Each structure stands twice: as C-alpha cells, then as structure tokens.
Amino acid sequence: MTQPNRGGEYDVAIVGGGLVGSALAWGLARSGQRVVVLDEGDIAVRPSRGNFALVWVQGKGLGMPEYAGWTKQSSDDWAGFAGLLRDQTGIDVAFRRPGGFMPALSEEDLQARANAMMRLHNQPDMIRYPYEVMDRETLRRELPVIGPEVVGGTYCPLDGHCNSLRLLRTLHTGIGLLGVDYRPNHRVERIERRDGGFRLATAGGEIGAGKVVLAAGHDSARLAPMVGLSAPVRPQRGHIIVTEKTAPFLHHPTGYVRQTDEGGVMIGDSFEEAGFDTTLQPGVSSAIAARAIRMFPLLGRLNVVRSWAALRVLTPDGFPIYEQSATAPGAFVVTCHSGVTLAANHALTLAPLIAAGDLGDRFKVFSARRFHVPQAA
C-alpha cells in the first residue's frame, strides 16, 4: 500500500499531535504508511487538552446537512473505534452512548431547541436520526436530578461521551505501537514542495515526506498558504469547570454538564471572542456555575477542583475543512472543532483516503473554497 517515497524519509508528515493529528496518524499507520507527527512542546495552544469530551450528534449540521451525516457516521463508528484501541493498547477510553440531553430552563428556550431540531431535519439531503422533545415530567423520569426551573429538553439516543484525555494518550500509545515517529518540540516553521514531496523546516530540524497533513489547529491558518491551501480559523474561548470526584449520579451526558467515568463533573461552557487570551474570567465561570446549578441544584455543594479556558478552532461557518491542495497535491488540511466526536471518522474513514491520495467527491462540500466568496456583487 505504501506509495513511492519521493519527499524523504516518511510517506506522511502530520503537523499537529492533538486529537485530530494523532487520530489521522493512527489511521494512516494502520493503512501501512510511514508517518511522522510533528508537534509543539509542553506549553502550546492545545484544545485537545481542554475539550468537553462529548461524542455528540444532536443539533449539528444546520446549514450543512452533509456535516450532520458525517457526524452521525462517526458516532456510529465510535464503539468499534474504541474497541480497536482497546484491543491494541489495553486502554479503555470510556466511550459510552447512553443518549444525551439538552435541558431547557425556559419554555422559550425549549421551543427554540425544538424548532432548531425541526429545521435541521427539514433540510434537503438530511440524514434521519431519532430525537425527542420532552416535557418536564418525561425528562425527569430519565434525569431525576433536574432542578425546578427545568421545563423540559431535547434528547437524542446517539449522543455519548468518552474520556478525551485518555483518548489522546491512547492514540499516542497506539501510534507508538504502530511505529509512528512522534516528535515533540518540532514546531513547523516552513513547508516547501520539493522533488515531488515536501520539506518541512522545524524547530528540531528538517523533515521530508511524500505527503503533508495540516492538523495543527490554530496554527493551520499560518501553514496552509505555504502549500496552496487556506484554513481561515479563529480561536473562540470556552471556559470549563471540573468538580471533585463524586459517586455516579448523572447517568447521561448533557450539552453543558456531564459526569466523567472518573467521577468528576465537567461543566461548560462559554463562547467568547478573545483572541488567544486564555486568562480565566471569574464572571464567566460564575455564569457557567449558575446555569449548571439551575439545571442540577445538587451540584452547588460540590467543590470546584480545576477550571480552565480553551480555544475552539472555528471556521467562519463552524463546519470542518477537509481538502487536498490543488496546487500542491499531497498536501491536505484537516481542521474541525469536534476532534473527539470525529475521531472515529478521522481514524477509520479519512486516513485511508489520505493514504490513497484522493478524498473523492464526498469532501468537496468541506473545501475552504466555500469561504472564497466575492466581496461585493
């Protein structure tokens, strides 16, 4: 399966060792490719260390039905993916798909959610999946710990979650076992096309590869133009709070609150345009805490042990970019803000296509060319 190695010592150089990069590396190595992963050091903008760990389908894809289908496919493939990882590494990434809820705190909010789900499913070419709009009593049978302000909610049986930090570690363990060369402290400075392949100038020396995959999150914006691609991504800050370990009491993930397999309760999140500043804002944390307590009043007694702000990697429309360069074939860009949900797709579906060198027609809709609209008509 290995293609002629024209660029140097590797078939593929992946820029970025987060969830997207390591899932692709795992998939590419399984496809027989010789892979190097070039990563930054211990301190880096690294959303993969700060995400909320949902494997989520509900509500995604309004405006791009293909994204809903792509998301559902990953959700469907996730259990198998987790099984492959467990078989390979012995590590359980704690994927569970018990169905997820979006509790609503007002009738208006519930109506807005119901309408959004309806509009989503009314799109042409939209895949079908089950969901329910629940009134308070129905919801309370499933989630007995909701507070008096919760009026109802939406439910989708496809929603789940995992232990995303363990997923990152497991992917790194897995790529190690597959012979992938992982190189931290190798920030990529420049990429040049040479001899039918690519030369990457990094903080740790020059690397050659036949293909290059940009999975560098925010840094892909800088790197993409070097290989005739574009990745117009911006950081959007989100605060997350975690409580102390607590005996299991919340058996389904919700969009804002979930209990981890280790017992801590993760509470999110916010949407702030603040550049690369990850300083925590007490007022934003407070607003997150207040909403979580309205949904689940029992949470108020728990101690917060950690909180942080991470930076989502967002495109202008919020949907992923998957694209091979037209001017520098062999260079790919992969960027999304759902590296957990889409990990199964990246590892099992996308990586083999990159290995084969052709993404095919299905991914045309995810090209960054959708952002290249004329400025004025």
The single-letter DSSP state of residue 254 is B
Using CB under 8 A as the binding rule, whether residue 38 contacts another protein is answered as no
- Binder among 62, 84, 126, 274 for another protein (CB under 8 A): 274
- Binder among 230, 285, 324, 335 for another protein (CB under 8 A): 285
Structure tokens that stand for 359 in this block: 């993404």
Tell me which stretch binds another protein (CB under 8 A): 56-64, 115-123, 209-217, 282-290.
282-290
Closest CA to 59 of 129, 9, 140: 129
* φ, ψ of residue 200 in degrees (nearest 5): -115, 120
The site string for another protein over 230-269 (x = CB under 8 A, - otherwise) reads: -----------x-xxxxx-x------------xx---x-x
- Binder among 2, 115, 122, 185 for another protein (CB under 8 A): 185
Using CB under 8 A as the binding rule, whether residue 282 contacts another protein is answered as yes
Q: Strand pairing of 54-55 and 160-161?
A: antiparallel
- CA gap 177, 166 in Å, rounded: 16
- CA gap 93, 175 in Å, rounded: 15
Using CB under 8 A as the binding rule, whether residue 33 contacts another protein is answered as no
Closest CA to 12 of 36, 41, 32, 31: 36
Using CB under 8 A as the binding rule, whether residue 172 contacts another protein is answered as yes
Using CB under 8 A as the binding rule, whether residue 143 contacts another protein is answered as no
Q: Quick one: three-class SS letters along 251-290? A: CCCECCEEECCCCCEEEECCCECCCCCCCCCHHHHHHHHH
Using CB under 8 A as the binding rule, whether residue 83 contacts another protein is answered as no
CA dihedral angle for residue 175, residue 177, residue 183, residue 184, rounded to 10 degrees? 80
- CA gap 322, 282 in Å, rounded: 37
- CB nearer another protein, residue 79 or residue 116: 116
Using CB under 8 A as the binding rule, whether residue 93 contacts another protein is answered as no
- Binder among 116, 126, 165, 178 for another protein (CB under 8 A): 165
> Taking the complex as a whole, how short is the minimal distance between the CB of residue 376 and another protein, in angstroms?
30
- CA gap 95, 159 in Å, rounded: 11
Tell me which stretch binds another protein (CB under 8 A): 54-62, 189-197, 283-291, 366-374.
283-291
Structure tokens that stand for 9 in this block: 């010592």
- Binder among 304, 329, 349, 370 for another protein (CB under 8 A): 304
Structure tokens that stand for 311 in this block: 């930076």
Give residues in contact with another protein (CB under 8 A): 17, 39, 41-43, 48-49, 145, 165, 168-169, 172-173, 176, 182-185, 241, 243-247, 249, 262-263, 267, 269-272, 274, 277, 279-293, 298-309
